[in-house]
Amino acid sequence: GENVEQHPSTLSVQEGDSAVIKCTYSDSASNYFPWYKQELGKGPQLIIDIRSNVGEKKDQRIAVTLNKTAKHFSLHITETQPEDSAVYFCAASRTGAGSYQLTFGKGTKLSVIP
Amino acid sequence: DTGVSQNPRHKITKRGQNVTFRCDPISEHNRLYWYRQTLGQGPEFLTYFQNEAQLEKSRLLSDRFSAERPKGSFSTLEIQRTEQGDSAMYLCAHDMGPQYFGPGTRLLVL
C-alpha cells in the first residue's frame, strides 16, 4: 500500500518568513495530493491540492509543487502570519478506481512567532 | 463550513460499553469516508461507502466496528465492547472531488 513520509515534524518561523513542508510517497500510481490544515480540536481543512498532471499550483500565499519522478511534493507558505500556526498534513491517493482513500503523513506542527 | 456535521463531538465511555457516532453530510454525495486519528498522527482510513454500499474496509476495522449508511445519506459508526485503544478522534469525510472533513468525534475510553 501507499506510504507517505512528511518532514519536518515541527517547524518554527518568524512572522513574515516562508515555511516549507516536504512529503514523499511510495506508490507511483498515486495521482492526487491534497494538503490539510488542522487546528486544535477541529477536523482537517483542505487548503490546496494538486494532481499529477500539474507540476505546481498556487493560491495566494500558498503553493504546492510536485515532482512525479522523485515522488515528492512540497507545501510553500509565504509571508507567514500567526494564524498560519497549526498542524499541516500531506496526503496521497489514487483516483480513477477504487475507494480514493487518502494516506496521510504524520503531520508538521507549524509555529509562527510574532 | 465543510458541509459535514458529526455528533456527538465528544464521548467519554467506560471500557466494554458500546458507542455510536453519526455523520451527516449537508447533501447526499456518492462517497462517504470514515477515518481514525490518534494523538500526534495523521488520519487513517477505516472504511468508505458509495451510496449505501460499504465497499472497502481497512484492516484497522476490527469485528467490533460496524458502519452503516442507510439510504445513502447519513452514516453511523458503532464500536462494540470498547477498549482503551479505541480512544481517538473519529472523522467523517464526504467526497466532492476533494474530500472535506467534519469536525470529528473525540472518543475517550476509560
* pLDDT tens figures, B19-38: 999 999 887 767 999 999 99
Q: Does B56 sit within 8 Å of A107, measured CB to CB?
A: no
Which residues in chain A have their CB less than 8 angstroms from residue B48's CB? 99-101
Q: What is the pLDDT of residue A97?
A: 66
Question: Which of B43, B56, B103 is opposite residue A42, by nearest beta carbon?
Answer: B103
Q: What is the pLDDT of residue B95?
A: 87
Question: Is the CB of residue A89 less than 8 Å away from at least one CB of chain B?
Answer: yes
Question: Which of B43, B58, B106 is opposite residue A104, by nearest beta carbon?
Answer: B43
Question: Is the CB of residue A51 less than 8 Å away from at least one CB of chain B?
Answer: no
The 10s digit of each residue's pLDDT in B30-89 is 799 999 999 999 999 999 999 889 998 999 889 999 999 988 889 999 999 999 999 999
Question: Is the CB of residue A92 less than 8 Å away from at least one CB of chain B?
Answer: no
Q: What percent of chain A has pLDDT over 70?
A: 98
| CA–CA dist A33, A37 (Å, integer) | 14
Which residues in chain A have their CB less than 8 angstroms from residue B41's CB? 106-107
